[in-house]
Amino acid sequence: MKIERNRTTLWLALAALIVLLQGATVLMAQDALLAGTDEFAKGATETSEVNLDKNMLGLAATQAGKGKGMADLMEKMDFVYVRSYTYAKPGEYKMADVEKITKRLSGGAWSHLVKERSATESTDVCVRTDEEGQLSELVVISAEPTELSFVHLKGHVSLGDLSKLGQFDQWDNAGAASGPPALKTRPQ
């Protein structure tokens, strides 16, 4: 009886710790630059959210292995924030709302690497560099009729470091990356 009660107490304590850690990770990974993007989840048929703070990236770097390119890159990052939404049909979100987010990347220390517009789609890739010329932030906003994605990376890396991302293509059976899959391009 006492052993069973201790086991139950242990499981409850473990569950509480997991909830606290998840809450702490979400709180630490809040992104002021892309604040409000969660509103785009309304009406979406699918949503994906990634919140990786410095601690979680450090843990992932440990799993990837020291001295490997991906682990080195993860250790340089402060956070990775991703929001992706899929909609059943076009018109489920307002492009004007996306433009409000995009305007935050105008002026100041932000530089547009890519700014593409069509009647139904837009893509923005913006960077901010520090005084040493190192990349300190990268933001990608991609809006298509039924898909919308926001990505914000913050850390101190070079563009050369980021270009290496496309060179990693080995994944182990457990799904842990020695690096992300090679970047794929959409057919035009």
At residue 98 the predicted structure's pLDDT band, cuts being 50, 70 and 90, is very high
Q: Domain map of the chain by residue range?
A: 1-30, 32-167
For 163-184, write each residue's pLDDT tens digit.
665 554 433 333 444 333 333 3
End-to-end CA distance of the chain: 66
Rounded CA separation 90/86 (Å): 10
For 127-143, write each residue's pLDDT tens digit.
998 888 788 899 999 99
Q: What is the pLDDT of residue 14?
A: 36
Q: What is the pLDDT of residue 6?
A: 39
Phi and psi, residue 67, nearest 5° = 85, -10
Rounded CA separation 72/157 (Å): 10
Answer for the pair 106, 124: CB distance below 8 angstroms, yes or no: no
